[in-house]
Amino acid sequence: MAAIILRNLSVHIPIFDVGRASLRKALLGRAIGGRLAESKSHVVVKALRDIDLEIHDGDRIALVGDNGSGKSTLLRVIANVYPPTSGTATILGRVSPMFDATLGISMDATGLENIQIAGTIWGMTRAQIKASIGDIVDFTELGDYLKFPIRTYSNGMMMRLAFAIATMREPEILAIDEVIGVGDEGFFEKAFARLSRLIERSQILIVAAHQDDILRRMCNKAVWLSHGKLVAYGEIEDVFAARASDGGRGYADEDAPRPVEARA
Amino acid sequence: MLSNLSEVRPSRLASLPPKAIAPSVAAPRSPAAAVLSQELIAGFQAWPVWMVMGWDDIRQRYRRSVLGPFWITMSMGVFILVLSIIYSRLFHTRLEVYMPFLTAGYIVWGFISASTNEACNVFQESGRIIKQIKLPYSVYVMRVVCRNFIVFLHTIVIYVPVAIYFKVVPTPMSLLAVAGLLLVVVNQIWLTIVIGIFSTRYRDITPIVATAIQLLIFATPIMWMVGSARSLQLVADFNPAYHLIELVRAPFLGMAPQPLSWIVGIGMAIIGWGLAAALLVRTARRIVYWV
């Protein structure tokens, strides 16, 4: 059983400019009495605000919203990477995040070595990695190139390998951030088929993307975020309709600082 | 979540209610024990992960080079040879005394200084992983210590021909080197945690550490011997780096380290680990936002 239960969840991301991150500022701030409060209050981006959300087995969630609406932050909370600033996040089930298809890819290592490194980082055993290599060879069609350092690969070859590596695990909760829509047309269909099989095996899917047609093919529900707030959650067509009738604005919250997706 | 980690965790936390076992993140700060079990112990247990990462770092650094990590051995060996010839005359010390002393001290110093310098970057260098999957923070710490220990094992080779040539006979005391080395590594791990956390939050720590390391090599009896200037004994005794080096160097030279060195080494480990644990409990929820 897998579940994602968010209660009153807020995530504030501190932004330290060069000056404020430095020790000198902290020390000086402490020495000069009046500035203490100011030096302690760095800029905070309220990336998610008071989110209440329950996701259960079988839910295939499309995560939509403008750039900077908090999609990536929410996915990082679900991946247990971002601890909430307030509220609670209960994540039941093994999460496979797919935020950056090139995780663990080192350019001077061979394709096979990269599969090994990434698999180990994902927590797979040696036997599990070995078992999945055949599948990766089939999918990537890279053949003997897998024994070459990957800096010799073309972009397309690299993308195939990265995608194959990112999809080598058996997840219970699959969280994807904009990694679809890569490579050439033929590869896209192949990648989509592989992703679909992975989605079938996982109990919960949550995917952030901007292409509605792709989301419709993969998902049954949708979460619409705007300025870090949850605007709507429900059947995918209902949410998309609501968004269309609203012109996609969501909350036009002028007072609040515009949340920024922390990608760096 | 890592499958091998989540397998390990429930058994460790078997006494806790089921809610605590679930890999959930709750806003109220988790009890210190749970944080330490998740961020420290689980990471040490995930040794395949940091061993693979550490090895890959070494392979990356020396990919396509014929000698590989033995370049460090070569350059350190040449450095030690040249320095020994010049300094032994400068200090009026016999070469057969000076060179084994310098070699043993310098290779231990190489491990301590390189690990400490790289500790500043421990979380930033793994930033892409930290922002994508939740691994215990100690995994990244062990990655740094592990790869520097691999380098250390390559440099230790230098001591063998030196010891043979100058007939430094191993004694039963030489076995103490293993215990000394263990204590050095144990201290290096907490130091990496503490420096790592501070330098992730305050980016000025990196140059401070680099400067301190540069000063320490001159302020520590590595290239000079305490015996050559008695008044310097005090400088050495108040220098923790001296005691750590002595714990390995003295056994290498066939002697037992001073009791004071054991006391300082063990004392540092106890205080340092307390500090590292307290710091980790305080900051574990925030490090990811600082990276």
Closest CA to A68 of A236, A216, A234, A251: A251
Give the one of A23, A79, A106 whose C-beta lies nearest to B133's C-beta.
A79
Cβ atoms of B114 and B58 within 8 Å: the answer is no
Q: Does B168 touch chain A (CB under 8 A)?
A: no
Cβ atoms of B98 and B84 within 8 Å: the answer is yes
The residues in B 12-31 lying below 8 A from A, measured between CB atoms, are: 22-27
Digit-coded pLDDT (tens) for B213-231: 999 999 999 999 887 567 7
Query: What angle, rounded to 10 degrees, do the helices at B176-201 and B259-283 form?
Result: 30
Do the domain assignments include residue A116?
A: yes
Separation of alpha carbons B217 and A92, rounded Å? 51
Digit-coded pLDDT (tens) for B40-86: 999 999 999 999 999 989 988 887 788 888 888 999 999 999 999 99
pLDDT at A36 (0 to 100): 33
DSSP A130-180: HHHHHHHHHHH--GGGGGSBGGGS-HHHHHHHHHHHHT-S--SEEEEES--
CB within 8 Å: A89 and B26: yes
**Where do the structural domains in chain B lie, given as residue ranges?**
32-290
Identify all chain B residues contacting A22, using CB atoms and an 8 Å cutoff. 202-204
Identify the segments of chain A with pLDDT beneath 50.
18, 30-39, 253-264
Q: What percent of chain B has pLDDT over 70?
A: 89
Statement to judge: residues A241 and A167 lie in one domain = no
- Domain's final residue, options A202, A237, A255: A202
- Domain's final residue, options A145, A177, A202: A202
Query: Residue B225 has which token pair?
Result: 């011997």
pLDDT at B211 (0 to 100): 97
pLDDT at A260 (0 to 100): 42
Mean pLDDT over all residues of chain B?
87
Cβ atoms of A53 and A232 within 8 Å: the answer is no
pLDDT at A25 (0 to 100): 58
pLDDT at A158 (0 to 100): 81
pLDDT at B229 (0 to 100): 66
Number of domains forming the structure of chain A: 2
What does pTM read for this prediction? 0.84
Nearest chain B CA: its distance from A261 CA (Å): 12
Do the domain assignments include residue A218?
A: yes
CB within 8 Å: B52 and A85: no
pLDDT at A9 (0 to 100): 95
Statement to judge: residues A218 and A185 lie in one domain = no
CA dihedral A243, A247, A248, A252 (to 10 degrees): -120
**A66: containing domain:** 3-93+211-245
A152-166, B108-122, B145-159: least confidently modelled range: A152-166
Q: Which residues contact A173 (CB under 8 A, 6 or more apart)?
A: A2, A4, A78, A91, A93, A94, A95, A96, A202, A203, A204, A205, A206
Provide the β-strand partners of residue A143. none
Closest CA to B100 of B164, B171, B27: B164
Statement to judge: residues A87 and A150 lie in one domain = no
Alpha helix stretches (DSSP H) within B38-132: 42-45, 47-62, 70-90, 95-119, 127-130
* pLDDT mean over B187-199: 97
pLDDT at A142 (0 to 100): 87
Provide the β-strand partners of residue A251. none
Sort residue B42 into left (φ over 0), alpha (ψ -120 to 50) or beta: alpha
pLDDT at A26 (0 to 100): 59
A174-183, B107-116, B182-191, B253-262: least confidently modelled range: A174-183
Residue B4's pLDDT band, with cuts at 50, 70 and 90, is very low
Residue that is written with structure tokens 């980016």 in the block? B203
Identify all chain B residues contacting A14, using CB atoms and an 8 Å cutoff. 286, 289-290
Do the domain assignments include residue A217?
A: yes
Cβ atoms of B255 and B10 within 8 Å: the answer is no
The CATH code of the domain that includes A11 is 3.40.50.300
Digit-coded pLDDT (tens) for B273-285: 999 999 999 999 9
Do the domain assignments include residue A131?
A: yes
pLDDT at A249 (0 to 100): 64
Statement to judge: residues A115 and A191 lie in one domain = yes
Do the domain assignments include residue A102?
A: no
pLDDT at B18 (0 to 100): 36
Closest CA to A202 of A171, A164, A175: A171
Do the domain assignments include residue A148?
A: yes
Identify all chain A residues contacting B197, using CB atoms and an 8 Å cutoff. none
Q: Does B52 touch chain A (CB under 8 A)?
A: yes
Cβ atoms of A197 and A169 within 8 Å: the answer is no
Statement to judge: residues A148 and A172 lie in one domain = yes
Cβ atoms of B253 and B168 within 8 Å: the answer is yes
Statement to judge: residues A160 and A217 lie in one domain = no
Do the domain assignments include residue A105?
A: no
Sort residue A183 into left (φ over 0), alpha (ψ -120 to 50) or beta: left
CB within 8 Å: A106 and B60: yes
Question: Exposure string (b/e) for B255-275, b if CB count within 10 Å is 16 or more?
Answer: eebbeebbebbeebbeebbee
Question: Could you count the other beta carbons within 10 Å of the beta carbon of residue B200?
Answer: 24
- Domain's final residue, options A177, A202, A227: A202
Closest CA to A157 of A137, A179, A180, A177: A137
CB within 8 Å: B203 and A18: yes
Nearest chain A CA: its distance from B60 CA (Å): 6
Statement to judge: residues A198 and A217 lie in one domain = no
Q: Does B142 touch chain A (CB under 8 A)?
A: no
Give the one of A22, A116, A125 whose C-beta lies nearest to B202's C-beta.
A22
Do the domain assignments include residue A251?
A: no
